[in-house]
Amino acid sequence: MLTWLWHYIRPYRLRLLAALVALVFTAGMTLSLGQGLKLMIDQGFVEGSVDGLWQSLQIFLVLVVAMSLGAYCRFYLVSWLGERVVADIRKDLYLNLVKLHPGFFDDNHSGEIQSRVTTDTTLLQSVIGSEISFALRNSLIFLGGLVLMLLSNLKLSLMVLVAVPLIIFPLIHIGRRIRKLSSESQEKVADAGAWVGESLQNLKVVQAFNREDVVVRRFNGAAETAFDVAIQRIKKRALLICLVMLLVLSAVGGMLYVGGSDVVEGHLSGGDLAAFVFYAIMVAGSLAAVTEVYGELQRAAGAVDRIRELMAWKSDITEPEAPSAPEKVGGSLEFNQVTYAYPSRLNEPAIEALSLNIKPGERVALVGPSGAGKSTIFELLLRFRDPLSGQIMLDGVPIHQMKPSRLRSYYALVPQHPVLFSANVWENLRYGDPDATDEAVIAAAKAAHADEFIQQLPQGYSSYLGERGVKLSGGQQQRLAIARAILRDPEILLLDEATSALDAQSEFLVQQALDRLMKDRTTLIIAHRLATITHVDRIAVMDKGKLVATGTHEELLETSVLYSRLAELQFNAA
């Protein structure tokens, strides 16, 4: 774990060094205050000299100023390091997450992952940015105080030495228990957090079905479990603090008694006893502080484990060593005996032995009942998943021999549920092509029949969309998604029921835009409504992961029982 952390701290080692110097300096100054105290008492109070008192006070004040300045530098440098290192870790973690294969998020709750990116890294930040320094400073004070105590009075110091193991051993034992409980507690909080995310995102469904009480009950359950686990941890922690105080302060009381007797008998000066008590309090306080922070460090160790686990995940979609990367592709696609099954349902292939050739510029519609595997074909084409067997070729090159980013640059995807990001219209459309000029963006919006409604938004193209921005209707969102694809000007178009959320009027307009977009481009359309695809070159009928027929609308009405049944249901019902 330390080597891992060092990897992140290393670039800032000069600052670390400066922080350490400041830390050692302030610890030294803190300890020297004891000597200042001794001077003040022996030269001032005991000798009854105001001059002596004034002189020793001056020395005391110099020490205080030096200590305060040192503390300023230490606090600034150490906190800077904490923030910096954690920002770097967050960036790395996010970079790894966005590169993971999308299937990863099927099995891993995105809420839990979110909590790792935020909560766990925050925990780590407080550890690097304060607690390690706190622990180090207190350890130094503990050790320095102990040495000064030993030097000034052996007998009294022996009492401390007897007390130390009595304190340390129960502490380590309880600390271990705390570590286990704290990672458990964090998992429970993450569970509750994930549930909040899911239920709030889908609040309309929750309310439409009057299921508020059910989600509340489930959340309460999760919150209570988190509470129960946290309480177990807190009990242990409370015990830890209580034990430390009891043991340390009893030892200090004993020392005061024994040392006080020595002063009374004249073996020890008042200043020596004051300095000794000062050190004893420092030693006790720093030990208590170390134990306090020990629990936090244990918690952070749990957080580090979880962050590292997430960073260690690698995408299932591998980059080829010697990628084939044609600059331009013609757009022919060939599925060769492709089989794929989702990891959670390995014995039920979603696509089975699929073979299909698509010529450059051809428009092919995929139809079939729900669950037939149409969306899975898109996922395979985009290399969100790789086939278990068989291969997919683009212009004769197997797509697994292409860099995923290069492969995806040939496509534009218009998904069934358009996704708009929290950004303005310009930026949302430029998702298709970040370098597009304003004119090109507007032309694409016009072609997708989106320009008109965009102009009417409060700030036109600069209107902010997304969760906290302007809300758009389903049809408007879809037209933006189409404009995005137009802007991308891809070799291959993947349309997932792109006109599903449109009214008859906009559907007509968008269909025109799509026709223009599809011209001379290989296009795959997932279609539920056969009316929208009667004009395509070829229709591929899928059922339960298998390709059962291909042909034109007219041909399939003759040859495919499944297709004619689908057509009959749709056209007759219409």
Complete DSSP assignment for 162-223: HHHHHHHHHHHHHHHHHHHHHHHHHHHHHHHHHHHHHHHHTHHHHHHTT-HHHHHHHHHHHH
Looking at residue 116, the DSSP 8-state letter turns out to be I
For ligand ATP, what does the binding mask look like between residues 466 and 495, x meaning CB under 6 A?
Answer: ------------------------------
Q: Min. distance of Cβ 500 from ligand ATP in angstroms?
A: 11
Residue closer to ligand ATP by CB (options 352, 451) is 352
Q: Min. distance of Cβ 101 from ligand ATP in angstroms?
A: 11
Residue closer to ligand ATP by CB (options 6, 105) is 105
For ligand ATP, what does the binding mask look like between residues 292 and 331, x meaning CB under 6 A?
Answer: ----------------------------------------
* Contact pick of 374, 400, 484, 488 for ligand ATP (by CB under 6 A): 374
Residue closer to ligand ATP by CB (options 244, 350) is 350
Instruction: Check the CA dihedral 554-514-566-335 and report its sign.
Output: positive
Looking at residue 542, the DSSP 8-state letter turns out to be E
570 in contact with ligand ATP (CB under 6 A): no
Compute CA distances 468 → 44, 420, 471, whole Å: 68, 11, 8
Structure tokens at 308: 């590292």
Complete DSSP assignment for 233-259: HHHHHHHHHHHHHHHHHHHHHHHHHHH
350 in contact with ligand ATP (CB under 6 A): yes
Give the three-state DSSP class for 411. Answer: strand
* Contact pick of 3, 210, 344, 347 for ligand ATP (by CB under 6 A): 344
Footprint of ligand ATP on 67-106 (CB under 6 A): 106
* Contact pick of 25, 45, 80, 342 for ligand ATP (by CB under 6 A): 342
514 in contact with ligand ATP (CB under 6 A): no
Residue closer to ligand ATP by CB (options 106, 228) is 106
Helix, strand, coil percent values for the chain (each to nearest 5): 70, 10, 20
CA atoms within 13 A on the CB side of 513: 29
Residue closer to ligand ATP by CB (options 372, 482) is 372
Q: Min. distance of Cβ 544 from ligand ATP in angstroms?
A: 8
Residue closer to ligand ATP by CB (options 22, 354) is 354
- Candidates 138-146, 340-348, 425-433, 471-479; binding stretch for ligand ATP (CB under 6 A): 340-348
Which residues, 6 or more positions from 467, have their beta carbon under 8 angstroms from its beta carbon? Answer: 422
Residue closer to ligand ATP by CB (options 258, 548) is 548
- Candidates 4-12, 115-123, 374-382, 502-510; binding stretch for ligand ATP (CB under 6 A): 374-382
Question: What CA–CA distance (Å, rounded) separates 74 from 358?
Answer: 67
For ligand ATP, what does the binding mask look like between residues 248 and 267, x meaning CB under 6 A?
Answer: --------------------
Question: What CA–CA distance (Å, rounded) separates 388 from 270?
Answer: 83
Q: Min. distance of Cβ 563 from ligand ATP in angstroms?
A: 15
Question: What CA–CA distance (Å, rounded) separates 16 from 122?
Answer: 20
Q: Min. distance of Cβ 542 from ligand ATP in angstroms?
A: 6
Residue closer to ligand ATP by CB (options 201, 422) is 201
Closest CA to 427 of 491, 489, 480: 480
- Candidates 241-249, 318-326, 343-351, 475-483; binding stretch for ligand ATP (CB under 6 A): 343-351
Which residues, 6 or more positions from 313, have their beta carbon under 8 angstroms from its beta carbon? Answer: 96, 100, 104
* Contact pick of 30, 115, 152, 376 for ligand ATP (by CB under 6 A): 376
Residue closer to ligand ATP by CB (options 31, 372) is 372
For ligand ATP, what does the binding mask look like between residues 354 and 373, x meaning CB under 6 A?
Answer: --------------x-xxxx
Closest CA to 63 of 38, 80, 44: 38
Number of residues interacting with ligand ATP: please give it, by CB under 6 A: 13
- Cα angle, residue 166 at apex, residues 164 and 170 outer, rounded to 5°: 115
Q: Min. distance of Cβ 351 from ligand ATP in angstroms?
A: 8
Residue 52 burial (10 A CB sphere; 0-12, 13-18, 19+): middle
Q: Min. distance of Cβ 208 from ligand ATP in angstroms?
A: 21
Closest CA to 156 of 165, 145, 167, 166: 145
Residues at the interface with ligand ATP (CB under 6 A): 106, 342, 344-345, 350, 368, 370-376
